[in-house]
Amino acid sequence: MLGEKSAAGRILELDGLRGLAIGLVLFYHYFTCTALYQPRTFVSYLLVPSRLSWSGVDLFFVLSGFLIGGILLDARTATNYFRIFYTRRFFRIVPIYSVLLLTFVALRLVLGNSAQTTFSWTLAGAMPFWTYPLFIQNFWMAAAGTFGCNWLAATWSLAVEEQFYLTLPSIVRFFSRRVLVAFLILGIAAAPVFRMLLFRSSPQGWLPSYVLLFCRTDALLFGVLCALLLRSRIWSHRIAISSYWFPGLLLSLVGVAAVLSKIGAGMTSFAMASFGYTSLAALYACLLLFVCARPSNFLSAVARWRVLRWLGSIAYGAYLFHQPIQGLAFALVRRSQPQIDNLSSFVLSLIALGLTLGLAHLSWNFFEARLVKFGHRVRYEFQPEEQSLLSTAIPTGARQ
């Protein structure tokens, strides 16, 4: 069983989980990391549960690995496997990403010196611009020890995913399921080793361990592993009927996340580099399996909430433009970088959030959805089974 599907064939629970992921990211950037408060105050205690909200990106990675892995597994015998996969990825990712890059260039030109002063938080300090269209900016971020300008800071995760898309299709296409499972386990186990080595390499080693593909493969490959498990009749049934071991595993991982939050383990901590990222990825993978394999469960019902599914539908645009809009709002109104230190700055953050969601909604309905639909006009083609069997049985000379 693979969740509840809409009339259009979309798995509703996955849309809800995507909405949860973008909700976590938006809350972190708009409120958690911008709020100024004294320790041991009401606000400080109120924000404790949101300390790990930045890990919404990790949930995105798990979902991406699951969806892309599932697509590739289902299409691995297609005669036009690579062409269709990359055509669809192009129309989903590149057009709106190009809008982000072009608006950045246009604003830098229009604002001139103001881009380095009033709007410095948003527009100053970018990586070499040519790295962004090539999706290799994460390497420059790792080397420089900074995300660069916040207009383009979030694009490190797009670079990770695009690099992942260049490697996974060939592995799924040319290797057996057994080899694929071995690769997934090896990649998941290797990621924390790479992170710990990079973390210890320099004072800013936490950043390379955060933004480089081979350090984040655990989340992506957990998603692919979920796609394999839910396509296995035996494992999907075990997950669906389990009364103890699977719910117990999910609760144990929730407990680990609670401990990480309690001790304040963040992106710059060794605890996160060593086991934290992997445990969070495992938590999100179990959550994905739970809501997809048990559609009648309460958590699955929550994942189907309309507001979460709506957030999931606009997640990509909201993710790309939330920091640009946040930075522009604070620069124009307060002449400062985003920070919440009084009621008016809190209201300004709410307004910026509303603008982000509104823009993302318009972008999805009038731009992205049409391009996605256009990309899906091309379909995977499969060689008829009879023809395939004959082709292997009849010698080449006889067929000629």
Q: What is the pLDDT of residues 180-231, one digit of tens each?
A: 999 999 999 999 999 999 999 888 889 999 999 999 999 999 999 999 999 9
174 CB-contact burial (10 Å; exposed 0-12 / middle 13-18 / buried 19+): exposed
For every residue of 204-264, DSSP letters joined together read TTHHHHHHSHHHHHHHHHHHHHHHHHHT-HHHHHHHHH-SSHHHHHHHHHHHHHHHHHHTT
CA nearest neighbour of 153 among 326, 14, 340 = 326
At residue 237, does pLDDT exceed 60?
Answer: yes
Q: Which pLDDT band holds residue 2 (cuts at 50, 70, 90)? A: low
**pLDDT the model gives residue 10:** 73
- 57-87 pLDDT, tens per residue? 999 999 999 999 999 999 999 999 999 999 9
Q: Report residue 219 as tokens.
A: 């989340």
Distance of CA 258 to the CA centre of its chain: 21
Local structure of residue 5 (DSSP, 8 states)? B
391 CB-contact burial (10 Å; exposed 0-12 / middle 13-18 / buried 19+): exposed
Q: Does residue 334 contact residue 346 with C-beta atoms inside 8 Å?
A: no
Grouping H, G, I as helix, E, B as strand and the rest as coil, residue 400 is coil
Residue whose structure tokens are 């958690």: 32
Distance of CA 296 to the CA centre of its chain: 26
What phi, psi does 182 have (nearest 5°)? -60, -40
At residue 7, does pLDDT exceed 50?
Answer: no
Residues 76 and 305: their CA atoms lie apart, in Å, by: 33
pLDDT (average), residues 93-117:
94
Q: Which pLDDT band holds residue 5 (cuts at 50, 70, 90)? A: low
Looking at 118-132, 201-215, 286-300, 384-398, which range is the least confident one? 384-398
**pTM for this model (two decimals):** 0.93
**pLDDT the model gives residue 44:** 77
What phi, psi does 224 have (nearest 5°)? -65, -40
Looking at 139-143, 170-174, 233-237, 385-389, which range is the least confident one? 385-389
Residues 292 and 277: their CA atoms lie apart, in Å, by: 23
